Structure 1
Amino acid sequence: MRNMILEKIKNGLNHHYWPKNTAGRTMISKDFVPVVEYQKIIRDITLEIKEKIQEWETLNYLYVIDESGKLIGVASIKEIFRQSPEIKISQVMKKKIISVQPELDQEKVAYLALKNNIKAIPVVDKDNHLLGIVSSDRILSILNKEATEDIYHMAGIFRPEFRIGNILEIPVFKSLKSRIPWLLVGLVGGIIAAWIIGFFEAYLKENLILALFIPIIIYMANAVGMQTQTLFIRDLTIQHDILFKKYFLRQLIICFLISIVLSLGFFLIVLFGWASAYLGLVLAISMLVTIIAAVFFCPTHSFSII
């Protein structure tokens, strides 16, 4: 399959043969970016830039290839115009190249560009033949798209169809379909929680002060759960081959330690503020259990909507 796609691209067919959301699908073909062979001198290159500037879609870097079309170097366009006209591009180019394979997920491409502070990333095949580049404007578009999707995932919105520029163009039913499911789950969860609390109605009447701390426990559990969900979604979108069991165990240990620290602090506040070690212990244990339960739920919730 991969070889068939490469053959079609070499024969002049476009990059839309690559799967969606990959570097190959996102890239600009090498026919529309500055590419020269390594033996050319700066004078000839600057003339070529002036002649073909209208044909190229991007003009940040010059990509240097050998006779077989393999990428061997990259040079900044700005740097080229600062060089002596008689020297070869091979003397100016940087041989340390950051490139990607066409099958790589587009978000990883954008992350790589940010990490290395570069404006565009070349796409090469397994033999290092240049296929095209992912340009700066497409990197920004990817980041915007992925950030928007991450935000919707964190809000519990199913398969967001909000890539339309004008929010008023989104059908009302589609918005409802995307937003309702996890809100219904939250409603059911709230009813179950109220039902459970109902079993302790008599005890709460005798110890009304306990009811005052319920919102604090719920808020802290929600805050820790939201942190875990946010990190999980972000990590999973960047690294799709993540070992879920190992990752979940690590997050569980971290959140367990967080819950211990928060519960201990809660216990001390209640102990000194209300002079009741028993009340502090009950509330601290409640917070500990609630936070751990929230951590168990949030990654499962996130995984189901990605």
Structure 2
Amino acid sequence: MPDTLHDGDALNLDVAASHMVTRIPRVRAEATVDSVLELLRGQVFQCADTIFVVDPQDRLLGIVRINDLFSDGTRLIQDIMVPEHEAVALGDDQEEIASLAIRLNMIAVPVVDWDQKLVGAVPPEALFRILRDEHMEDLQRFAGIAAHDDGPDAALDAPLFNRFSRRLPWLVFGLLASSLITVVMVGFEHTLSSNVSVAFFVPALVYIAGAIGTQAVSVSVRGLSVGEVDIGALLRDELIIGSAIGTALGSLAGLAVMIFFGDVILAVAVGLAVLAGGTVSAVVGFGLPWVFKRFGSDPALGSGPICTIIQDVTSLFIYFALVSLLVL
């Protein structure tokens, strides 16, 4: 087996097989610390930050961190190892590697094959690269920029047409989807023509919806990055927080409208619209990345133009509906 699987060995560069090295220290659980140190002396490894404990069939039993080898030399490896340690498979996505490393505070991530035999490990330098690449890809997806096939670094130096073609699709989608906002406003044309001051608050409502949604998206993506979390509890918290923020901002907005426009009913409509729009934006911003993740897509895809359009359309519809009921 080669030391590292390169481009020709793994069709997908984002899987564990393309990041791992194979010259790693392997020891048996029944060996003593002194015998392991003697075994390791004089050898050259591609990753020696972690000692991997295997059985006679080369199946992973656990790991020993290098600093634990400085304990009593007569102790057995099985007494100081972390048993039943988690690993990634050859075909696991690099995002899963990063999540496992963060969750278990790992320096090197073991890689096993379909028989659960240890075949290599993802070293620290590869983990740093994976974390950086995932972060850069998420930033691009948040902005509605398609990922480059060769990674985020290649995206910076890509030809102009390539950069243009990766940005344009989501912007075209946003342009087409924004027609929903036009449909909403056309549907409430009578409301706008009857009281032109109603239109003054549309930019503020759109901004508030986007800002609250962006905060919720950040919490959602952060939750997804740390592995298994209680989605129900987080969603409940975001609903409470979104409602509280909406109440605070709605009260301020309603007070401002009443002071400057002297229209109590319009002030109530604006305040309630901010409250309802803020709550909906928090739920949508938090929930949409989870939906994308649930169906096997990148969560960041649900955090850019799609999330923005849903929040804007919903907030404006709520606003115009309230104005129609309360003001006119």
TM-score normalised by the chain length of structure 2: 0.67
Counterpart of 1:47 in structure 2 is 38
| Residue 174 (structure 1) aligned with residue 162 (structure 2) | yes
**Partner Cα separation in structure 1 for residue 207 and residue 121 of structure 2:** 46
Paired residue total: 286
Does the 8 A contact of 1:33 with 1:132 survive in 2? yes
Read off the aligned partner of 1:159 and give its amino acid letter.
A
**Partner Cα separation in structure 2 for residue 40 and residue 27 of structure 1:** 26
Counterpart of 2:324 in structure 1 is none
Cα root mean square deviation, aligned: 4.4
| Residue 73 (structure 1) aligned with residue 62 (structure 2) | yes
TM-score normalised by the chain length of structure 1: 0.71
Does the 8 A contact of 2:108 with 2:123 survive in 1? yes
Does the 8 A contact of 2:49 with 2:66 survive in 1? yes
For residues 248-298 of structure 1, the C-alpha deviation after alignment (integer angstroms, 9 at most, x for no partner) is x97996697367524355334434565432121232354456557867987
**Partner Cα separation in structure 2 for residue 27 and residue 156 of structure 1:** 31
Does the 8 A contact of 1:58 with 1:135 survive in 2? yes
Read off the aligned partner of 1:35 and give its amino acid letter.
R
Unaligned runs of 5+ in 1: 1-8
Residue 144 and residue 28 in structure 1: after superposition, are their counterparts in 2 closer, same or farther (change >3 A)?
A: same
Counterpart of 2:270 in structure 1 is 283
| Residue 119 (structure 1) aligned with residue 110 (structure 2) | no
**Partner Cα separation in structure 2 for residue 264 and residue 61 of structure 1:** 56
Read off the aligned partner of 1:129 and give its amino acid letter.
K
Quote how far apart the aligned CAs of 1:14 are.
Answer: 5.1
Quote how far apart the aligned CAs of 1:303 are.
Answer: 4.3
Read off the aligned partner of 1:40 and give its amino acid letter.
A
**Partner Cα separation in structure 1 for residue 150 and residue 254 of structure 2:** 44
**Partner Cα separation in structure 2 for residue 74 and residue 293 of structure 1:** 46
Does the 8 A contact of 1:153 with 1:233 survive in 2? no
Counterpart of 2:253 in structure 1 is 266
**Partner Cα separation in structure 2 for residue 251 and residue 174 of structure 1:** 41
Match of 1:93 among 77, 81, 84: 81
Counterpart of 1:105 in structure 2 is 93
Counterpart of 1:257 in structure 2 is 243
Read off the aligned partner of 2:29 and give its amino acid letter.
Y
| Residue 59 (structure 1) aligned with residue 45 (structure 2) | no
| Residue 34 (structure 1) aligned with residue 25 (structure 2) | yes
Alignment partner of 1:173: what SS?
A: helix
Quote how far apart the aligned CAs of 1:224 are.
Answer: 2.6
Read off the aligned partner of 1:257 and give its amino acid letter.
S
Alignment partner of 2:14: what SS?
A: coil
Read off the aligned partner of 2:50 and give its amino acid letter.
Y
**Partner Cα separation in structure 1 for residue 162 and residue 178 of structure 2:** 25
For residues 89-126 of structure 1, the C-alpha deviation after alignment (integer angstroms, 9 at most, x for no partner) is 33433325233333433212211211222212222346
Residue 139 and residue 69 in structure 1: after superposition, are their counterparts in 2 closer, same or farther (change >3 A)?
A: same
Counterpart of 1:302 in structure 2 is 301
**Partner Cα separation in structure 1 for residue 83 and residue 283 of structure 2:** 48
Read off the aligned partner of 1:263 and give its amino acid letter.
G
User: Percent of pairs identical after alignment?
Assistant: 23
Match of 1:132 among 100, 111, 120: 120
Quote how far apart the aligned CAs of 1:167 are.
Answer: 6.2
Counterpart of 2:131 in structure 1 is 143
**Partner Cα separation in structure 2 for residue 236 and residue 94 of structure 1:** 26
Quote how far apart the aligned CAs of 1:171 are.
Answer: 0.7
Unaligned runs of 5+ in 2: 293-299, 307-328
Quote how far apart the aligned CAs of 1:204 are.
Answer: 5.5
For residues 55-97 of structure 1, the C-alpha deviation after alignment (integer angstroms, 9 at most, x for no partner) is x1112111122222122232122321x2344444334333252
Quote how far apart the aligned CAs of 1:302 are.
Answer: 3.0
